[in-house]
Amino acid sequence: MRAVIQRVSKASVTIAGKTVAKIDEGLLVLLGIEHADTEEDIAWLSKKINNLRIFNDENGVMNQSLIDINGQAIVVSQFTLHANTKKGNRPSYIKAAKPDVAIPLYTTFVKQFEAHLGKPIQTGEFGADMKVALLNDGPVTIIIDTKNKE
């Protein structure tokens, strides 16, 4: 499982001209799921993201988590995070999980993320053509791959 985490002042997801998710201060999480991902990856990653200390404290030091600031979050499925660009110029997405595997893992991730955060989060729509808008705060962008957790 691979995630691109962006600290945002605001973010939104629009599908076919309709805004389906919108937040202020918090995190925009782009989530890529591959065939080899497990429930263990979900548990580890959802806890890790919620506890990342990437928000400023009263001294301007990145020392607070999403939980600490009572922030909001949007999680968007993005299979292109598993693009392989080693050969040629057309990326291969062979490692990205097919929908029958990815959708249940994505749904479970969202539920566990909410459980760690202690409140509902917003999402895009799996497989939809989404327009994602954000104002990256910092900028702060972090990439986490569960295959590199040790």
Positions annotated as catalytic residues are: 80
Place of tokens 């600031």: 69
Contacts of 40 (CB under 8 A, 6+ apart): none
User: How far apart, in whole angstroms, are the C-alpha atoms of residue 36 and residue 10?
Assistant: 33
Please state, in angstroms and rounded to a whole number, the distance separating the CA atoms of residues 26 and 46.
15
- Across the chain, which distance is largest between two alpha carbons, in Å? 48
Tokens describing residue 6: 């962006």
CA distance 52 to 73: 13
